[in-house]
A and B are shown apart, each in its own frame.
Chain A
């Protein structure tokens, strides 16, 4: 029951994010979708992921997108055509992909297993996993984030100096 409610909120937020004309509105709808998804994660027993989802997506990514929107000054102007020229074929591709996925889910054997009991995922376990078994990926992620930080900064700064 709760799952249905939050799934509906998530999907509604996603649809609104992709269809609203005003970009800021669509980002706000997107945060709604992210938050709904975070609640779904919490329901599935993934507390850390759910909270990290809110922290990263609502607190950081949404704000980042908002900054980008305001910096590109398209927030106030609603263009005549918000959709692509080839929107018919694109839409067909999206619907087809959903059809294929839904068919696959409906017919897959994986969904016929009995529901297992709620698995444990304490912070202790996650911490141990990150520091021991997944230490190398963690380091790589750190490297990637640093690279992304430096990359984003250099892109922005370099261009700024050239336009001056």
Chain B
């Protein structure tokens, strides 16, 4: 029963799970994982609309996902580098502890 609606529902579910995780969990790495999940949900939307959309020959949705994967990889690299450098300063990856602006 693969249809546009089911794909979109899966995507919405993934997005909400990612959002909930990013908002609820305290660990910075898990927040990053949540953001990755949300990006993936968006990618799934692009693919679904490319597949069921009116003009699949243009490959626009697919191209967007390729670039989005590239951006997500860059984001993960920089985000994790930030988390590691943050950890070096304050010895925790718990974002609730990072509430002061001391360098």
Touch A–B, Cβ below 8 Å: yes
**Contacting pair B8 A105 (CB below 8 A):** yes
**Contacting pair B24 A145 (CB below 8 A):** no
| B side interface size, CB within 8 A | 72
Q: Give the size category of A's interface with B.
A: 35 or more
**Contacting pair A33 B69 (CB below 8 A):** no
A95 to B19, CA, bound (A): 9
Chain B: interface secondary structure? helix
Which A residues lie within 8 Å of B2 (CB)?
A: 3, 43-44
Chain A: interface secondary structure? helix
Which A residue sits closest to B76, measured CB to CB? A61
A95 to B15, CA, bound (A): 10
A17 to B20, CA, bound (A): 11
Contacts of B31-76 to chain A: CB distance below 8 A? 32-34, 36-37, 40, 43-44, 47-52, 54, 56-57, 59, 62-63, 65-67, 69-76
Other-chain residue from A15, A37, A46, A65 in contact with B76 (beta carbon distance below 8 A): A65
For residue B98, CB closer than 8 A to chain A, the reply is no
5 contacts between A and B (CB under 8 A): A49-B62, A61-B73, A94-B17, A115-B3, A134-B67
